[in-house]
Structure 1
């Protein structure tokens, strides 16, 4: 279950629910309801943000495979990605920006 894997990862990292809520922008009560399986069908956006906040893969939270992401991501990158998602920046828009940057157009 996703909630069990969130709870296990959070506790392994010695994060309180409040810490995780602060890192991800979700209410502590909502995270608690997922961990306790009161809510059993979280959105993919929730799963993605929680995975980033816990530095685990989405695949791990959903299926239990490969717990740690292939590359360590420092906290500033996580915050930048979360902020970009909050402002509605899509992956495609970010890719387009990188392509322009690579082409030295920006």
Structure 2
């Protein structure tokens, strides 16, 4: 889980949540909710701020279950641009569902 990884990195650097919040400009309560698993989908922008402060690449704190993923700049830049232009998580999930539908339809043909 992302929260577990952030807590691990934070404690490895001997940072308190207060210190991480101050250095990253992310609220203490938000970091706490991520670490406790209450906030399961923090934004890329927040994760990037935390990654910079924790001195690790963004992809090292992003995981889905047991599978680590790698995000390079070719993925991060368009995602950030889409978010800046107002793309919501719900719209992104709808796009993924549509894309999966199109892919399955193409396989059936």
Q: What's the TM-score, normalizing by structure 2?
A: 0.58
Number of residue pairs matched by the alignment:
67
Aligned residues: CA RMSD: 1.8
Pairwise CA distance, 1:26? 1.0
- Is 1:50 the counterpart of 2:36? The answer is no
Whole-Å separation in 1 of the counterparts to 2:23 and 2:60: 19
Partner-residue secondary structure (3-state), 1:15: coil
Q: TM-score with structure 1 length normalisation?
A: 0.59
1:37 correspondence with 2:42: no
Q: Which runs of no fewer than 5 residues in structure 1 stay unpaired?
A: 67-87, 89-106
4+ aligned runs moved over 4 Å, structure 1: none
Query: How has the CA–CA distance of structure 1 residues 65 and 10 changed in structure 2, closer, same or farther, with 3 Å as cutoff?
Result: farther
CA distance in 2, matches of 1:49, 1:30: 13
| Greater Rg by CA | 2
